[in-house]
Structure 1
Amino acid sequence: MIFRLDERLLFPDPALAEPDGLLAIGGDLSAERLMLAYKNGIFPWYSDDEPILWYSPHERFVLHPPELRISKSMKKILRTNVFTITINRNFAEVIQACSAAPREGQAGTWITDDMIAAYINLHKKGYAHSVEVWQNNSLAGGLYGVQAGDVFCGESMFSAVSNSSKAALIWLCENSNYHLIDCQVYTEHLLSMGARMISRAEYINALHNTPPKP
């Protein structure tokens, strides 16, 4: 059963999601609703020709920073200092670039104009963050996502230059205090970097009961 949302700020139990993770339809992209969703393991994912669709997958593809694996070739690239990395320097440019670079296996973008406006609003309120990778003063790659406690809910990444999005993810793992990075969608290159599947129950437990930072 797919639930229809109204003006009230509430979601059904994520365990009631369909086999594909679809939980609810409707509502809006206000900062309050978005943050309520992320704190409960739910996120919006839809196209321009669809209503707002809310998902809570039965499994999550995640990366625990201590489990990060960096290939020898990537370590060599990082040692050359070919990239300069910043955080929250240009969130709008990162999300725009991600919208022009569909996720692996997808023909079009799910980052609609309404989504861009909503996440820029989240960024202004301090909930959404970007990592930018620069080469010769040009944006070479990056990623953005939403902070829910000590979990970073990764939304999308892009590479205009080879390995730049990997550099962004490595920086995020090594230079932040996130306990868990939610990668959402399985990809081979994230698997090679140490990401793995966990159950929804494990993921929601991480959201609500994150162990203290060392």
Structure 2
Amino acid sequence: MNAQKALRIVIVAPDSLSPDPADTAALVEVERSRSLRIGLLQHGYNIVAVLPIDPFLPERLAQIQPDMIIVDAESQARDTLEHVVMATRDARRPIVLFTDDEDTSHVGAAIAAGVTAYVVAGLAPERIKSVLEVALARFRHEEDLRRQLADARNQLDERKVIERAKGLLMKRQGIDEAQAYARLRKTAMDKGLRLAEVAQRIIDVADLLG
């Protein structure tokens, strides 16, 4: 199965595709929405749900666990995005916005908040596949960078813990830095623990004893 066909997509959209026939603006939005969904199906994407913006959105997304969220926004794109970003803050996923809102003054804030791609009107159905593939690639790249940054921070924190534990051993046992490190390392090997875990236990005991 191709990568795009495996994607489980949730669309966050207005409740109805049957607006008042007298509402011209609503009819234009509905036509764009239908065109978007047809384009997704034509390219083999799996639309697992179409959800409205309501208080239950976070729970529904948590249950469905989609691979990507497509926001089919009305003119109030900013309000819609705020709800979706809040709903995915604990489980990040690529978010692609399709909208007719030509006010792009808040695009930067939307991207910073977690929106992967922001597409304003006029997208031909044949371009949907390329837009989603680029959005997914960008999201994965950003997630890799996030993990690398988190790993670097964890390593720095662990080094600080080890340095503090070495200092405590040196002070209380009258040994030099090399000896303190050797004792930490031996204890870690004997107990099957990571060096930072042993160091943290030493710090915890020292804090408890004062």
Answer whether TM exceeds 0.5 for this pair.
Answer: no
Q: Larger relative contact order (C-alpha < 8 A, sep ≥ 6)? A: 1
TM-score normalised according to structure 1 size: 0.30
Q: Higher helix fraction: Structure 1 or Structure 2? A: 2
Q: Higher strand fraction: Structure 1 or Structure 2? A: 1
TM-score normalised according to structure 2 size: 0.31
